[in-house]
Structure 1
């Protein structure tokens, strides 16, 4: 065991930190007022007998070390609970030599204190699974996407999500995050992918999704007319699902049961989404007018998919460099259930991506993620947590992503295997 500790210098340092915390805890707890002062003996004293000193009851605490720091579990005592521990978190951070301390309540009577000795966000991580042994997710309700600033796993909710909006500067990690999602979901036979990549005209051989094209049912590029045709077919597909879901699934909401290969979760990925929505000054030019008309139709189609596709198992993911209304129209952006923001240059861009509440959490603002060390780190609201959480998303090597997509390409559905499969017919024709 000692050899294992010595091989992991981070864990070794954390073990020394844990030992110091255990040794000093009774004294630190008393100095910070995290103790119960039992004065019952003093009240009982009478006459000339000496008054007994009050008894201090220190909360019992267990300390566990890991590579990033320690996890402490403390039992509450009368008058010392979650609020009292939270008020002293900054002092605990100083005494424990920790860069950050978080205090949460596990259950009534038990407090959890996470103290990190080093910042997990500043260390790039890699997700490099073996395609042959990559596990199939037990359910699609949520997906593990990364690690927060306390080195805790973070899940992204998928269940009953209308849309996901991903914003951030070029090279900040947006496409890498989508590839990470794709690789984790690729082994599931009840997941199909439709892609629109606004960065290239031939996404099957160029661009960010060429390596994983084998796992896509349909993948198109920046051609506005072709994209418009696909989005229109997706809307028809959505209508067909709405009309048949009660008959074929026996329920009105896809998420109230398990996804199956016969009725899979369809994930529509629209990267560089502003490519398909942008309006330009036409100056009377007929060709530009026609493009603007297609872009306006695209906005209507995507709005339809996000507002009405959730209950029938269609999840739309939008990625763009900024979440302002000129990039993603507000009628689309504002109905996305989940938003993530990688590095942003201005607070206005952060507010557009995450909402005005981000102003109240400057320590979590994506504006502070512009340093190259934070490439791959995003700010998001995590279900069940207050405020915003910064999350380190792992990088998936291109070779690994390609191998996973190729290994699982047999799961891509062919024509006629979905209700109203006109979309897949287009894929076959192309």
Structure 2
């Protein structure tokens, strides 16, 4: 053992200073220069006080009013003078909202300052990522943050878990701005807005925004859900296929009905569906050109007819020197399939193999010919849905699953290890799932919901629109 002011443990040099740690935790200072009295006051007094400036100003105004009342009336005036301002601020809606927003904003910025410093995100010049804008969202807060010189958004993203731990929140998400490298979009997730203790208007059934539309176009983005930040989630269906999967009663049929509703309100869309249970598509029959039940021969016949239409369209496109079907070329075809497992894993082996061959061909080649597949099933594992078929679905919507492996089977391998697992969704929240669509990563969202009477009304409007287009009646 050395007799100096330091000791060695396992070959590691220990600091010479020993003693009790500070009572209050504080982050390390990254500044390289030697601290003077002035710089210490600036770092440990002025800077923290600046974060309390709004509260200090509010207290200063109240104290000023109290002093004025004391000078004019006496101690009674000192007590009474601040009361009218406090009552007026609390009574008027606009002033109350302003006061609550101001105090909440100040608290958020103090918490963010502390979290960034404890996460080691301060630079050698004692600068941290600064909040430029903030707004409340159902799951927590959404921030627009600017990183200081010498720092990057990637560094903030790497320390997101540390920041979340200091803030004591569920999660912190960081995304780089597409236009500026020094700007980050940060989501602070404090709660699950879809759970029982979440936001009331999001915990229950959320009505579909197009439920009262007279007519729509399937070429436009259609609203299908609301994410945990409160933003609407849309899908662009032409040129893409959709699969919705999850455990029973997770909300697969409700999600599939939204795609059908959008197709029903477009009189130029032809709907040809397969319904193994004969129940999920029953209410949509007024707008369906053809529907097949649990009959493999009829299902194979439908696939062959659709493939013939697809081949005819490719001949027209080839003659016109074009590569994809457009809005002016003719109707889109929507092929909804409920309980896909019945057809792809049917006990009749020869029929199953034939159907899978036709379905894979239609799904692989039909996108550019205006053929859209929308399927609902439970876990689409390779023994239920052929891998070569499953991989053709660009949009994947994973509702509640029992295991992480089942979630990865729907979304794709590796997403669960990155924190996107449908197995973590609350079993009591129907319609909530992870949607892998245009964002490039799975988004936690809750599908809109259509009541049976809404479906009947939409199907009736869709049927009337189709008769009008066909010239049979007028509205």
TM-score (norm 2): 0.68
SS in 1 for 2:243: strand
User: What does 1:30-41 align with in structure 2 at a 5 Å threshold?
Assistant: 30-38=117-125
1:76 aligned to 147, 156, 173, which one? Answer: 147
Match of 1:395 among 433, 442, 449: 449
Change (3 A) 1:67 1:275: closer
Please say if residues 377 and 392 of structure 1, whose CA atoms lie closer than 8 Å, have aligned partners that are also in contact: yes
List structure 1 segments (4+ residues) > 6 angstroms apart after TM superposition.
4-7, 11-15, 413-417
Match of 1:252 in 2: 323
On the 8 A contact 1:115/1:150 being kept in 2, the answer is no
Cα drift, residue 271 of structure 1: 0.9
Question: Unmatched 5+ residue regions in structure 2?
Answer: 1-90, 196-202
In 2, the alpha carbon distance for the partners of 1:135 and 1:23 equals 50
Equivalence for 1:111: 184
Alignment of structure 1 residues 155-174 onto 2, 5 Å: 155-161=234-240, 163-174=241-252
Q: What is the distance in 2 between the residues matched to 1:365 and 1:28?
A: 27
1:237-316 equivalence runs, <5 A? 237-247=309-319, 251-254=322-325, 258-260=326-328, 263-280=330-347, 291-316=348-373
Matches within 5 A, 1:19-418: 19-22=106-109, 25=112, 29-38=116-125, 56=127, 59-94=130-165, 96=167, 98-106=169-177, 107-108=179-180, 109-122=182-195, 123-129=203-209, 131-133=211-213, 136-137=216-217, 139-140=219-220, 142-161=221-240, 163-200=241-278, 207-247=279-319, 251-254=322-325, 258-260=326-328, 263-280=330-347, 291-361=348-418, 363-369=419-425, 371-386=426-441, 388-412=442-466
Q: Pick one of 18, 21, 29 that aligns with 2:105.
A: 18
SS at match of 1:176: helix
Q: 2:464, 2:321 → 1: CA distance?
A: 28
Q: Give the distance between the partners of 2:334 and 2:230, measured in 1 at CA.
A: 29
Deviation at 1:3? 4.0
Deviations 1:47-71 (A, max 9, x none): xxxxxxxx75763522222444222
The one-character-per-residue Cα deviations of 1:201-232 (angstroms, maximum 9, x if unpaired) are xxxxxx12222222222222112222222222
Alpha-carbon deviations, 1:261-287, whole Å to 9, x = none? x5122111111112223343xxxxxxx
The answer to whether the 8 A contact 1:195-1:269 is kept is yes
Task: Sort the Cα spacing of 1:25 and 1:390 in 2 relative to 1 into closer, same or farther, 3 A.
Answer: closer
Q: CA deviation at 1:30?
A: 4.7
Deviations 1:80-115 (A, max 9, x none): 331232234334435555433211122312211122
Any gaps of 5 or more consecutive residues in structure 1? 39-54, 201-206, 281-290, 418-430
Partner-residue secondary structure (3-state), 1:226: helix
Q: Is the partner of 2:191 in helix, strand or coil?
A: coil
Shift of 1:413: 7.8
Cα 1:2–1:306 change in 2 (3 A) is: farther
Q: 1:80 to 1:160 in 2, by over 3 A?
A: same
- Superposed displacement of residue 170, structure 1: 1.6
Q: Residue 17 of structure 1 contacts residue 69 of structure 1 at CA under 8 Å; is this kept in 2?
A: no
Give the CA deviation at 1:172. Answer: 1.1
> Following TM superposition, by how much is the alpha carbon of 1:165 offset from its aligned partner in structure 2, in angstroms?
2.5
CA distance in 1, matches of 2:361, 2:470: 23
Distance in 2 separating the partners of 1:113 and 1:85: 9
Change in CA separation of 1:104 and 1:131 when aligned onto 2, cut-off 3 Å: closer
Aligned counterparts of 1:253 and 1:135: Cα–Cα separation in 2 = 25
**Is this contact kept in 2: 1:60–1:75, CA < 8 A?**
yes
Alignment correspondent of 1:43: none
The DSSP-based 3-state class of the residue aligned with 2:282 is coil
Q: 1:332 to 1:18 in 2, by over 3 A?
A: same
State the Cα RMSD in Å.
3.4
Shift of 1:13: 8.2
Distance 2:373 2:120 in 1: 51
Is the CA contact 2:307–2:362 (under 8 Å) kept in the aligned structure 1?
yes
In the alignment, the residues of structure 1 paired with residue 294 and residue 190 of structure 2 have an alpha-carbon distance, to the nearest angstrom, of 46
Separation (CA, whole Å) in 2 of partners of 1:102 and 1:119: 14
The alpha carbon displacement at 1:407 in A equals 1.1
Greater gyration radius: 2
Match of 1:285 in 2: none
Bigger RCO of structures 1 and 2 (CA < 8 A, at least 6 apart): 1
- For residues 115-141 of structure 1, the C-alpha deviation after alignment (integer angstroms, 9 at most, x for no partner) is 23321342244124465435635844x
